[in-house]
Amino acid sequence: MAEYKNFTVETDPDGIALVTWDIPDRSMNVFTEEVLDELNTIIDQVASDAAIRGAVITSGKESFSGGADLTMLQKMLGLFYKEKARDPEKAIKLLFDNAGRMSQLFRKLETSGKPWVSAINGICMGGAFEMSLACHGRVAAEGDNVKMALPEVKVGIFPGAGGTQRVPRLANPQDALQMLTSGQNLSPQRAKAMGLIHAVADPAKLIEAAKAMIAAGLKPVQPWDEKGFKLPGGPVYSAAGANLWPPAIAILRRETYGNYPAAAAILKCVYEGLLVPFDTGLRIEQRYFTEIMRSREAAAMIRSLFVSLQELNKGARRPEGVAPTKFRKIGVIGAGFMGAGIAYVTARTGIPVVLIDRDMPAAEKGKVHSADLMDGLVKKGRAKPEEKEKLLSLITPSDDYAALDGCDLVIEAVFEDSEVKKTATGKAEAVLKSSAIFASNTSTIPITSLARNSARPKNFVGIHFFSPVDKMMLVEIILGKKTGDKTLAMAIDYVRAIRKTPIVVNDTRGFYVNRCVLRYMSEAFKMLIEGVPAPMIENAARAAGMPVGPLALADETAIDLAQKIMKQTIRDLGEKAVDPEQMKLIDTMVDKHGRFGRKNGKGFYDYPEKPARKHLWPGLKDLYKQQNPDKIDYEELKQRFLVVIALEAARVMEEGIVTDPREADVGSILAFGFAPYTGGTLSYIDGVGAKEFVKLAKALQKKYGAEFKAPRLLHDMAEKGETFYQRFNPYPKDEARKAA
């Protein structure tokens, strides 16, 4: 038997080979070029050895595999663009051939003449699930941790190793399209019900069950390779097909607004592929995959939503030379909605939490929030009752600051009032050990000013969560002028410990995310004042790629809060800092009509009791003279939203508030859903090109005002033909890695 680095192959007395995938020095198996080479050799070995009846492939790790290493696809694109400069036709042929490598390997496996069974444990994603679908038998371990999916569409590509051809030949086409275009996770039970796996087994008997399939005479032939094979949902050209495809296209358009080429390519692959023999279907898939790989959306989404996200999650911005922190106890001051949410996500990861408030009833109420969240998970079958009890045992409510003694980190989440925060800081520091870190969860007050209340400003930092804390994956870490490297390292360690993504932001009013969000909502207010009908405003924003319309977002964050922020800004920066017409609009909504937002059931939207759905408040059209919708440039409305946010992100980079383009991009998508297909705020500008973007901004500035004035940085980049990833290269020590 040959020796392999990433696999072991052991044949039992019954002639069944157990192929165990276990990449050294990685927590998760992924497909790399080396793994593909070794798997190719193993397939040949199994096929040529007369003593081997068949093979079971499984994982030696807790999970099966995360799929393909997308940095491999980035390398593939790099080779394409390098060759394109010399020979465009040859470059496309090279990309086409590389794009088909995994698909051809899996086809070789399923036509090798020997039966293969995939024994799936833990997570099985992307290319790993496509490989499993190419196996003649599939068995998954039972358990909540076992998930199967083809999630490629979420990073701008699609399952290009046979997934678009095998899934609709195993499952009914409606379920297949839903799975492929959404990237949804499947439980073992759901996968079996769809026909994607054959059996669910006790984890301890997974290999035994897989081997039993081969021992029972599993045929080494796939259904679609047998004569007389019929599609599960019937032919494309049939009554069933006529009821499926027109609505499917309409639904895709409704959900994506045409912004995601990969999702449209999936429909084309499935539709065209089901009309032809299987091998021709694979070639069709390969052709579309090559096309999508060359799209701006794929390059941007792979970079931001996979590569950059992984790097930030691994602590890319963590200072070097600081030992990692293992947290033994965390304190949270303020048991309101935010503080209670912070306590919950901390305890969820097994870290003990002390939850402080002004009195015991208030502190206890904060703990009840965690109980309610866990009850919801238990009801949905995503948590067990004993997990709820364990989590609640880790949260200690108290009205005594002395309970913070022994905390490694204390997070203050009290009202947005400097004096209240000052009091909390002093009381906490009086009992904290000298090495402990104090963090403020403020969303608007500069950290440097709050740190003046601290006796040890080096240990003071901002840790800004977003609401609701349990669902929002981004956390802004804000540095005061005196925040030390050790404090920053500990803050990043904490955010990683609670399984969220940290970005590092230098101190300024509104930090990064809120500055961008306020621009988004402000532009919507301007449109209302101009007389643009509210439905057009909301629809244009969603069509531009935003997940929530700006008026709906204003309701969620509270209109009366927007009023308070505006008034505070005027007090701090003067009357000119806020558009008086927008101030008048917000005052009218709050003071005249009592419309505070979702929290009191009426804002820009009305919120009737369920099952009725929210709807825009009819009174909005009476506030300003309405323009004729037919005379409004809808595409320009979409541009205004994206450009005004991206310009603010560029200003943040120019001011040195954010210094790493990965953080600006990832932060904009995770925090407020900035059009994910663009790759984020800065990738959007890079995709348009600095020169063209400045030209677009100038045209909008001429029509709509100073918020569209491009900063000097963008003019300079336009003159030099630079991108943000070149100007602010996040890989300065890696000469071999070219940021494009």
Q: Could you give the residue numbers annotated as active site? A: 443, 464, 476, 514
* In 277-359, alpha helices (H): 278-293, 296-302, 309-313, 337-348
Residue type, 192: K
Max distance between CA atoms of the chain, in angstroms, equals: 86
Please list the residues that pair with 353 across neighbouring strands. 330, 395
**What is the torsional sign of CA 329, 330, 333, 334?**
negative
Give the tokens for residue 118: 């995939």
Cβ atoms of residues 181 and 243 within 8 Å: no
Q: For residue 355, what is the DSSP state?
A: E
Q: Strand pairing partners for 152?
A: none
- Closest to 136 in 3D by CA, of 162, 160, 109: 109
Distance CA 466, CA 22 (A): 38
- At a CB cut-off of 8 Å and minimum separation 6, what does 609 contact? none
Q: CA 740 to CA 738: how far, in whole Å?
A: 6
DSSP state of 490: H
Distances in Å between the Cα of 437 and the Cα atoms of 314, 363, 395 are 21, 22, 19
Asked whether the CA dihedral 469, 471, 472, 474 is positive or negative, the reply is positive
Q: Report the b/e string of 139-162 with b at 16+ CB within 10 A.
A: bbbeeeebbbbbbbbbbbbbbbbb
**Torsion sign, CA atoms 655, 657, 662, 665:** negative
- The Cα–Cα gap between 673 and 654 comes to 22
**Calpha distance 318→463 (Å, rounded):** 15
**How far, in whole angstroms, is CA 651 from its chain's centroid?**
24
Give the per-residue SS3 of 565-617.
Answer: HHHHHHHHHCHHHCCHHHHHHHHHHHHHCCCCEHHHCECCEECCCCCCCCEEC
Q: Which two tokens stand for residue 264?
A: 């449209």
Q: CA-CA distance, 549 to 672, in Å (whole number)?
A: 11
Cβ atoms 140, 160 nearer than 8 A? no
Residues constituting the chain:
740
| Beta-sheet strand order (sheet of 54-59) | 7-11, 16-21, 54-59, 116-120, 137-141, 199-201
Around Cβ 382, how many Cβ atoms within 10 Å? 11
Q: What is the CA radius of gyration of the chain?
A: 28
Contact 284, 269 (CB under 8 A): yes
Three-class SS state of 187: coil
Distance between CA 667 and CA 178 in Å, rounded?
A: 28
3 state SS of 411:
strand
Place of tokens 């593939």: 76
| Cβ pair 305, 669 in contact under 8 A | yes
Dihedrals phi, psi of 484, to nearest 5 degrees: -90, 165
Amino acid identity for residue 331 in this structure = G
Task: Answer positive or negative: Cα dihedral of 142, 131, 11, 28.
Answer: negative
As given in the structure block, the two tokens for residue 703 are 């029509």
Residue 441 near residue 447, CB atoms below 8 Å: no
